[in-house]
Amino acid sequence: MPTVTWCEETSMAFPATHRSGSTNRAAIQKLPAMGLGQRLRLHPRWLGASFAALVLAAGSSIARRWASTAPASPSRAFVGLGTGTQGRAAGAKTPQAAYFITEEELQREPPIKKKRRKRVYLREDGEWKLISKEQPLPTPSEDPSKLLLQIDESGKALRLLEFLENAVHSPAFEMKHAVRALDTLVVQRPSLNEEDLARLGDQPGLGALVERTKAFLQQIEDEDGGLGPRWSTLLLHALAVYQDVPVLHRLVVPVAEEAAQAVPDMNNKQLARCVWAIGELRHVSRLLQDNLLPLMVQNSRILGVRAYLKAKAPFEYSLLRRGLFKLRRDVPYLREFLPGPE
């Protein structure tokens, strides 16, 4: 083990020189004005000869300095210094340390409010309860544009149906509002659990929406107009998503009749959604598979639609495959007209 000499000026230990065994006093006197990196570069032989001795000496130096500034009472805990210790000039005063009483810290009352994942919880009766941010239902606007915005901002499905209970009677409520409401219900389907779905048909807002939509469809038929490909597709898709709600079955036949008129103007994505909806709603009315489906698959149009969707629209392509598979499986005579799996 090499000989180590302690320097009181620098509070550091230094190994003896390689040949004489005595310490280089001239080099040690220059050390206080040098940084740690310069001290190590001064005698590079020291690092290889006595690295363990340097580590032990540095540890003892740190322990001495910590003992001189440690708190006297064991019940007090050290928080930190007001300023950093790096770059402190020689002879500068040591900043005062800040402390807190551990007993006082442990006696603090627990918080009654917290926030997790942008949700606010309030502690009541020893339990954390979620604070709802839902605002009271707005009054249905008489402006068609504002009414559309209110439908979009209604939130979850049950809240939307509660709003529609009064909104369907607004003079600004039109066919586009009915289509937007049903399409919003499709988007908010994940907010409904099994119990909500079982009671969905008993919601007054849904019944009022169905009656008003049916009146609009009758009015459109009397005026020799049509829903068009976009609205027809959205309505048929919404009815297929909520096929387990019997109150919506009253809209299947009139919507299918409007979709049959719009088939020539439908694009490939709309056609795929309609084929999937036909497979889901086939048990409600045979009009879908006997009248609407042949218009979509005639002249081998379905082959071009499938090829396009496979390359450009994966989601609609999966819907088309599911619809064709279900129709071929459940209706044997349709296998003669519908393409098989690729």
* pLDDT in single tens digits along all 342 residues of the chain: 455 455 555 555 555 544 444 445 555 455 444 454 444 444 555 445 455 666 666 666 666 665 555 554 444 444 444 444 444 454 555 555 555 555 555 566 667 777 777 677 887 777 877 776 667 888 899 999 999 999 998 888 999 999 999 999 999 999 999 999 999 999 999 989 989 898 998 999 999 999 999 999 998 877 767 889 999 999 999 999 999 999 999 999 999 999 999 999 999 999 999 999 999 999 999 889 999 999 998 888 999 999 999 999 999 999 999 999 999 999 999 888 888 877
E strands, 82-228, are 97-101, 113-116, 119-124, 127-130
Q: For residue 214, what are its two tokens? A: 């049916």
Whether residue 236 is contained in a domain is answered as: no
Task: Tell me the residue range of the domain where 51 lies.
Answer: 1-63
Whether residue 80 is contained in a domain is answered as: no
Give burial (CB, 10 Å; 0-12/13-18/19+) of 84: exposed
| 137-142-147 Cα angle (round to 5) | 55
Whether residue 117 is contained in a domain is answered as: no
CA dihedral 278, 282, 286, 290 (to 10 degrees): 40
pLDDT at 19: 46
Question: Are the C-beta atoms of residues 174 and 180 closer than 8 Å to each other?
Answer: no
Name the domain boundary from 23, 47, 63.
63
- Report the candidate in 6, 5, 15, 12 with the shortest Cα–Cα distance to residue 48: 15
Whether residue 41 is contained in a domain is answered as: yes
In sequence order, what are the residues at sequence separation of 6 or more whose Cβ sits closer than 8 angstroms to the Cβ of residue 298?
A: none
Whether residue 179 is contained in a domain is answered as: yes
Rounded to 5 degrees, φ, ψ at 188 are: -90, 15
pLDDT at 53: 63
Whether residue 59 is contained in a domain is answered as: yes
Rg (CA), the chain: 40
pLDDT at 302: 92
Name the domain boundary from 225, 259, 284.
225
Element (H, E) at 105: helix 102-106
Q: How many domains does the chain have?
A: 2
Whether residue 86 is contained in a domain is answered as: no
Name the domain boundary from 41, 63, 85.
63
Residue 134 is classified by DSSP as P
Q: Where are the alpha helices (DSSP H) in 263-300?
A: 268-281, 287, 293-297
Whether residue 23 is contained in a domain is answered as: yes
pLDDT at 136: 80
